[in-house]
Amino acid sequence: MINLLLILHVITGTIALLAGIVAISSRKGARTHRVAGTVFFVSMLVMAALADYLAVAIPEQIPNLFIGTFTIYLVATAWLTVRLKERAAGIPEKTAFFVILCLCVPFVILSFQLATGLKPSFKSAVPLEGPVRIAIYSFTFFVAMAAIGDARLVLAGGITGARRIARHLWRMCLGLTFAAGSAFTNGLPRLLPNTVHVPLIFLFIPQLSSLAVLVFWMIRVRFTGWYKDLTPN
């Protein structure tokens, strides 16, 4: 059963990557973007849900449970942002705010323990050193940013215009970044033969490329009038 779920996790992750590439490459609001975005959304939900289950079923994988749940939160809130009414802060938005506040707790605790040299409260089969430690700090930063964004949305009673589009784009792009990181810096090295050595920097290129796209869209949406001509999906 574990092996079957791992295979399904890889398959849905691959579909999400391909759909995400199509979505960010196509005209925003067009049919291709909407269809690819929906496929990306569903694939990411299934992939992350499987990751959560595997994190519980396989010993010493609890940090992956928090990461998988954060991924579900990101793509779900990104999708809801353009599906729900503008200037609204109803039950879905308040529920998302509660979820991200709960996620802040383990990420902040783990980051604090790693930064101060304390023994981590959550066991991990992968040593929390080097790039993995940097990843944990990065996750904590993004969780905090998402919590701040949700707090502002709830207090303001909803968002509209550039802020609404930016919220959708950065959360979807960050979800794509997580999928790329999982595939190329975590999964691919395990599949390669021991005789094949790929420099670490090359494994980070897809992930860094996704982040670059995220930055590009944030600048374009927040500092130009591009979004005004956009028909939301």
- Buried b or exposed e, range 54-91, using 16+ CB within 10 angstroms: bbeeeeebbbbbbbbbbbbbbbbbbbbbbeeeeeebee
Q: Distance between CA 221 and CA 206 in Å, rounded?
A: 23
Q: Distance between CA 143 and CA 100 in Å, rounded?
A: 7
79-108 average pLDDT score = 90
84-109 average pLDDT score = 90
206-230 average pLDDT score = 81
Averaged confidence pLDDT in the chain: 87
In the chain, domain spans: 2-84+154-229
Residue 5 token pair:
């779920």
Give the pLDDT score at 232: 44
Model confidence at 71: pLDDT above 60: yes
Q: Is 209 exposed, middle or buried (0-12, 13-18, 19+ CB in 10 A)?
A: middle
Give the pLDDT score at 41: 95
Percent of the chain scoring above 90 in pLDDT: 49
pLDDT in tens, 118-164: 998 888 878 888 888 988 999 999 999 999 999 999 998 888 888 88
